[in-house]
Every structure is written in C-alpha cells, then in structure tokens.
A and B are shown apart, each in its own frame.
Chain A
Amino acid sequence: MDLLRVEAISKNFGGVAAISNFSMVQPYNTISAIIGPNGAGKTTTFNMISGVQTVDTGKIFLEDVEITKLPSHKIQRFGVSRTFQNIRLIEGLSVIDNVKLSYTSRLTYTMFEEFIHSPRVRKNETVLEDIAMEYLEFFDLSKYAKSKPKSLSYGLQRRLELARALMNEPKLLLLDEPAAGLNPAETRELMGTIQKIQEQKNLSIIIVEHHMDLVMKICSIIHVIDFGKKIAEGTPQEIIKNKAVLQAYLGDMGGEIC
C-alpha cells in the first residue's frame, strides 16, 4: 500500500487545462518533488490533493481510501497538511494561536464546556499550549509566540506555516514553494530542516519548488510537469539527463537547472 495514489486527475478553468491526466504515487517516508515552469499546474495539483479545489476527473487515494471528493478539512484530519505558495497565516491570531489552529479538530472539549471555561477546557488548553510551544521551539520561533504573524520577516513566516502544518502530526506534508523569497542561506537551512522533519516525524513530503539545487539534493523522486502535462518522472540523476525536461526548462527558465 502506498501513502498517496493520484490517478489521472484533471482540472480545467474555463477551457484552460490547468492540469490534465496527472498521476503519481507517493510511498511512505519519502521526499519527492513536483517541478515545472510557471503556470505548469503544480499549485492546482496540490489544491486538488488537499481538497482546496475540486477534481474534474480522476481519483485520489490516501492509504487506499478515496479522498477525491472530500472537503479540505476532512483531508487534513486524515493526515494531509499543507503550506501555501503565498503564505496564508491568520493575521488576527498570534503566532502561537496560528499553530494551535491546525490542532482544533483533535480537541475533545465541547462548546458548552467552553461557555464556562471548565477544568477540562483549561487542561486541554494548557496541554495544547505546551505542544504548540514545542513546535515553535523546533522552528526557533518561541520568542515570537505572542506577536502577530505580520510582524515576522518573510522567512520566519514561512517557518511558522511549516510549524502550523506539522502541528496535527500529518502523514503527508505538501509544501508549495517553501523556499520562495528566501535568500540562499535561508534556503540551505530550510533544506536541512525539511530533511530533519522527515526523519524525525517519519512522514512523507511532496515539495513544489523552483530551486533546483534544493530539489536535487533532498528528493528521491521528481515529477516534472509542463503545460498541465506530466513530461517526466524519475530520480534526480535521471531527470537531469532527460531531454524533454531540459527543453521545457530551457524554454523559459534557462540555466536554473544546471
């Protein structure tokens, strides 16, 4: 059994095929990547897997359970977490409350207990605070716990999104361009962090990324899409030599692959 199986999914936007017949398999404990030029359909693919957008045709399975038509909150509860290409933190919540948010569905107290802030609520909240703090510490964010996300630098906001995505202990983590907007040093650090997360948490990660060096170093499988179609799949070594890939990239991104 594989963790994730995507079978020929497609999505059209008013006649434009954002992605068509895309299939992939994601095993347990693996880091893989989806790469492709701008507008290739990478984010759309993530949106469909995470239930943020509906699937036009095709099927998606998580541990052999079909999740194709499930809304995103259910998919998250099944253990699929994600980050967003354009960071989407909740501005009205503090840094630590943002992290707590993705644990909401696991809290066991009811609304009626919240009315009176019952001992059970208090206990749950204390435990939650501790767990959230651990995640913040892991990402070196604990000193910003009470600040608002807006006051953080871009790189720190990306890390916060990562902490939030991990908070519900996912089996599968989808990272949409986690290194976008980071400088080379931050990018290198992020690579290390991603690897460390994968090893420590025993989870599987799919990364959408433009930074080829990042992808080549830490991913074991790479899927390449161009104009909504998959053009190659293989190990980094295979992909580097692939003619179709080179062509797609030389077309608009030139040297970045070298």
Chain B
Amino acid sequence: MFYFFANVLETTLMYTIFVLSVYLLSGLTGFFSLGHGAFITIGAYTAGLATLRFGLPIWLAFILAIVMGLVGGLIIGVPTLKLRRDYFLLITFGFGEMVRALLLWTSQLTGGAMGMAGIPYAAELPLIAISVVVVLFIIANLKRSSFGRTCISIRDDELAAQAMGINVYAHKIKVFLLSAAIASYGGALLAFNMTFIEPNLFDWLESARLIVIIFVGGINSVTGALVTALFYYSFGELFRFANVWRDVILAVLVILVIIFRSQGLFGNFELSPKWIKSLFNRRKSPKRGA
C-alpha cells in the first residue's frame, strides 16, 4: 500500500515539474507549444541512452539531458520565436511529431517502437520531491523580479514591451530554453523512475493538457499551476479505473473557468510566507476585520 501511494506521489510530482516548465512559457509569457512533450522525450531518451548504451553515470546523464533539451530548444526557438504565436504553435507541434518519428527511425539505437527497458531505477521519491521544490523555488523567484515582469509584458503587448527597452526576442529565447531545460530534466527523472520509455511517452495531447492545467489554475499564479497539477495528476493515478473522469472534470472546469473566472481558479493569488502570516494575524484579532 505504501508503495502504491509513493508511486502515485512520484508520478504526480514529475508531471508537476512538466506543468511548471510550461508555466514559464505559456502562463507567464503567453506562448503555446504543442511540442513540449518533445523536450520531455528528449530528456528521457538522453538519460536512457547515456546509461544503457554508453554506460555513463547517472549524474552525467542528468546533465546531458539538460544539455540536449537546451540544444533542442535552440534549434526550434531561434527560428520560430520571431514568428507570430500561431505559427510558433504549429511548428512546435511539428517538432514534437518529428522527434517521435526520429526515435522510431533510429530503432537500432533507441529500440524504436519497442521502447527502451532496463534503465536503472535512480529517481526515487526524495530526489523527485527535492526537484519539484527547487524548480518551484526558481520559478517563483523569477516571477517576482525583472524576469517575470518582462515575461508578462511580452505576453500582454510585445510592441509596448520593446518600446520600453526590452529585447523581446532575446527574452523569449531565454524563457524557451529554460522551459525546455526543466522539461528535459523532468524527462530524465521520468526515465529513471519508470525504467521503461517509448516514443509515445508524451504526445501532443499530453502537451496540450499541460497548457490547459495552467489556464485552469490561472496564468498569473504559480500556486494555481502547482495546486491544479497536484490535484489533476494525483486524481488520475489514485482512481485509475475512473481515469476518463478526470478529463471530464478538467473539461467541465475549463468551461466553468472560461465563463465565470477568466483569470483562472487562483487569479493573482500566490502562496507566500507573508500570506500565511496574515492568516494567523487575522485569527488572533477577529474583530479587526468586522
């Protein structure tokens, strides 16, 4: 029983990392990628290949996964981030499919459709939990300083942002690379946790789901992305038999959010030490609010 819950938690937390990586790109900066799964796949396969085929140590496999994610991010980001957002979406979609095709095509190395089994089990709950905390910490920090303000300005009005002295293109590349690096790191975690990977690990629908989760949580709230992701993926894992229902619930939530709360469930809310303190203060002096 313990193993079952640990397993649920591990999977949920790894998917939460993916959601957080997409939060940077789609939530904060307003770019939608249907090929984000490709970075996860790249990370997973780099990890798998590095350890299984090249016998490299785990820590090096993680670093290589991040490097490959960055390389992929550069190849796709540099030519497309100058384009309009709809073209960006289409090209990332194509990129996702391309990576999948490439894995099938190089089956000698990657095992093709059979996938790759026997990857060392090296990502256990503590490592995954720490990873989530670190990623969360970094993203929350970025959001509250210049990086985050710049992202939001690009999301809302690129022309005005540029006229305010912001190198919009350079910043978009930074965001995309960071997002790709986090996703491929998460992909490596996934490989080391599941020990088996295959080319359909993360298709475009799964990528789209990441974006939807962010919109339900609220594009201005990391807390929203976190809570929605934890809830959605743990629900799916805990109630495997009712797996379809989680998408039904998500779909209903999306519709409700769009109609009644366009800023997402969490709006501008962020969970912070300050907020927690204010909660206690309110408790202590209940008359103040009246």
Contacts and interface: CB of A to CB of B under 8 A. Distances in A.
Contact of B145 (A71, A90, A102, A121): A121
Interface string A153-170: 000000000001000100
Give the interface size class of chain B: 20 to 34
Interface stretch (A16-24, A72-80, A200-208): A72-80
A252 B161 CA distance: 35
Contact of B153 (A93, A107, A109): A93
Nearest to A71: B162
Interface in B107-150: 137-138, 141-142, 144-147, 149-150
A88 B158 CA distance: 10
Interface in A49-107: 50-52, 71-73, 76-77, 82, 84, 88-93, 97, 100-102, 104-105, 107
A258 interface: no
A93 to B, nearest CB: 5
Contact of B152 (A52, A72, A90): A90
Interface stretch (A112-120, A134-142, A237-245): A112-120
A92 B156 contact: yes
A111 B175 CA distance: 10
- Interface residues of B, dominant DSSP: helix
22 contacts: A50-B163, A52-B159, A52-B163, A71-B167, A73-B167, A76-B164, A76-B165, A88-B157, A88-B159, A88-B160, A88-B163, A90-B152, A90-B153, A91-B156, A92-B156, A93-B156, A104-B146, A105-B166, A114-B142, A115-B142, A117-B144, A125-B145
Interface residues of A, number: 33
- A73, A116, A121 — most chain B CB neighbours (10 Å): A73
Contacts of A125: 145
B220 interface: yes
B246 interface: no
Nearest to B148: A114
Nearest to B145: A114
Contacts, number: 91
Interface of A: 50-52, 71-73, 76-77, 82, 84, 88-93, 97, 100-102, 104-105, 107, 109, 111, 114-117, 121, 125, 164, 168
Given A114-B141, A121-B145, A104 B220 contact: no
- A72, A92, A100, A164 — most chain B CB neighbours (10 Å): A92
